[in-house]
Amino acid sequence: MKKTDTHYIFELPIKVRDYEVDSEGIVNNAIYLHYLEHTRHEFCESAGFTFRDMHAQGIDPVLSKVEIEYKTPLRLGDSMISKLALSRKGPLFVFIQDIFTPEGDVVVKAKVWVATLVNGRLSRGEVLFERFKDYLE
């Protein structure tokens, strides 16, 4: 499967490292969550608002829900392209995150819902909305 209608706003190339594979030589399923998180962090940094900046201002994005479909396994030394799209549903930010091989085959399809805490309290995410409004679908 290579086609997608998703409007990605950010891409990050990643290479599989030796400690990310299991005894069968394929990437452990939990590692993909790390790839997705790393992509979100890099996106935020590229948008000018790092997680360190957010936390220093009392803003903490926290996962609310993650859906992930594993399509094609990756192996040691494989390269991938992690792509991200962003939308908003009420107070939640919804990240569509898909990982592809360099040839365009789907590795992982994921949907990640993120809530925002401000000074430890659940918020409507307005501060993040202002920072990310140019990237929202």
Angle of CA points 64, 65, 68, to nearest 5°: 155
pLDDT, tens digit, 9 for 90 and up, residues 23-38: 999 999 999 999 999 9
**Percentage of the chain lying above the pLDDT 90 cut:** 84
* Partners of 109 in beta bridges: 69, 98
What DSSP string runs through 37-76?
Answer: HHHHHHHHHHTT--HHHHHHTTEEEEEEEEEEEE-S--BT
* Active-site hit among 5, 22, 60, 98: 22
Mean residue pLDDT across the chain: 93
Q: What is the C-alpha separation between 61 and 54, in angstroms, rounded?
A: 8
Mean pLDDT of 48-73: 94
CATH class of 10-132: alpha beta
The pTM for the full model equals: 0.91
Residue 27 per-residue DSSP state: B
Active site residue 5: no
The domain segmentation of the chain, as residue ranges, is: 10-132
Collapsing DSSP to helix, strand or coil, 8 comes out as coil
